[in-house]
Amino acid sequence: MPHINKAVPNAYQYFPLNEPSIGTCTSSEKEVPALFRPLVLRGTEFKNRIFVAPMCQYSSDNGHATDWHLVHIGGFATRGVGAICMEATSVVPEGRIAPEDAGIWTDTQIEPLRRIVNFCHAQGTKIGIQLAHAGRKASTHAPWVQRKAGSGAPHTASEEENGWPNNVYGPSNLPYADDYPSPKAMSEQDMDDLERAFVSAIGRCERAGFDFIEIHAAHGYLLHSFLSPLSNVRDDVYGGQPLENRMRFPLRIADACRKAWPHKPLFVRISASDWAEGPEQDEAGLWRQWDIEQSKIFCGELQKLGVDLVDCSSGGNWAQQKIPLKHGYQVHFAEAIKQAHPTLAVSTVGLITDPLQADSYIRSGKADVVSLARELIRSPHWALFAAKKLGVAVKPANQYERGWY
């Protein structure tokens, strides 16, 4: 009987076949830890609950992914995570955070993304993409460019620096901070155009082969800024005090995306809190900032539209925010949303490093998924280290087995 190094069937190149898939728990003598139990959303099975959170790389060529992205994302696909969500990818050029941010506004951007998707699929790993518009935080510098500019330098990227400071939009004409661009308040025509851009981007996502889509409604970018009374002071049906008004445009985008993406999972990333000073709602019943009570209502509306998972982050909309950074500092937000909507899948993210604690968040029902970013940069094989700490064996890539056995 011949012994052959089997190939992944129908892959675009030769890749050794991993059986079972990389990141699958192979221990049979004890209960599978919560982190390594499969999760099924809208018919798509994720082999474990460790997801790669979107990480902006500021490395795109006029919005086009490059080989940096292939190596960066592909490396996670070979190291045991359950799913990868690619970075904030703008549906229009002016929606990028920085000039070198990712985009999906034109068909020429499909093929570089398809190459990355195909590689991840050949390694047995699901991959999605985060669709975004930076709103009033657009046309700014990449972080290391800003650091080199020094303290006191404006965050705004000028036209000379490849920016578009006069073509930045938000719900109102309030800048995020004094050294950020001054946005134009979006008109109804602007909103109509952007809705069409999201739907067109979803068509490109389908052609690229993504397994899921996440809508970015967090971190002070456009959709979050519509939600918060700190950044949305419109006096029409899309703003002001009524929560229904402030939710209207984000829900409209989510509804359009769900209808354009009917068969695969749809996620939404939210900021559950602005981390602003004072109460969420004052004694007179006026909403003063965006926080967990409005977030719970918003998530309920998202679930009604057919959103499959809420990716629960926080902050980014109030420049004076003071966040108590520590392991799992945002888990209580995910837990509150999960308690309010038990049948809605919820992901938690934010400085999660310890496997035992991460497993406990899922085991205790505080979240269904943990998403990691910085820790995976430091330790790309975190999933396999987590399995070892939890006392179970997990399948490494064939090519890396010698490092684990």
pLDDT tens for 126-170 read: 999 999 999 999 999 999 999 999 988 999 999 999 999 999 999
Q: What does R_g of the chain's alpha carbons equal in angstroms?
A: 21
Q: Specify if 9 maps to a domain.
A: no
Catalytic residue among 58, 221, 238, 361: 221
**Cβ-proximal residues to 165 (8 Å cutoff; 6+ apart), any chain:** 139, 156, 157, 158, 159, 181, 182
Q: How many CB atoms lie within 10 A of CB 378?
A: 9
Please identify every stretch of the chain with a pLDDT value under 70, giving residue numbers as ranges. none
Classify residue 308 by its DSSP letter.
-
Q: Respond yes or no: is residue 405 known to be catalytic.
A: no
CA neighbours closer than 13 Å in the CB half-sphere of residue 164: 18
For 159-213, the pLDDT digits (tens) are 999 999 999 999 999 999 999 999 999 999 999 999 999 999 999 999 999 999 9
Domain count for the chain, please give it: 1
Tell me what pLDDT residue 109 has: 98
Q: Specify if 27 maps to a domain.
A: no
Q: Specify if 385 maps to a domain.
A: no
Q: Which structural domain range is residue 270 located in?
A: 34-378
Q: How far is the C-alpha of 155 from the C-alpha of 149, rounded, in Å?
A: 9
Considering only CA atoms, which of 85, 108, 87, 109 is closest in space to residue 97? 87
Q: Specify if 398 maps to a domain.
A: no
The CATH number assigned to the domain holding 83 equals 3.20.20.70
Q: How far is the C-alpha of 293 from the C-alpha of 234, rounded, in Å?
A: 21
CB 158 within 8 A of CB 181: no
Considering only CA atoms, which of 389, 400, 387 is closest in space to residue 50? 387
Tell me what pLDDT residue 151 has: 85
Give the β-pairing of 44-46 and 39-41: antiparallel
Q: Specify if 387 maps to a domain.
A: no
Q: Specify if 149 maps to a domain.
A: yes
Q: Which two tokens stand for residue 203?
A: 């068509």
Residue type, 63: G
Residue owning tokens 């970075």: 87
Q: Specify if 57 maps to a domain.
A: yes
Q: How far is CA 267 from CA 2, 115, 240, 288, in A?
A: 45, 23, 26, 27
Q: Specify if 14 maps to a domain.
A: no
CB 179 within 8 A of CB 135: no
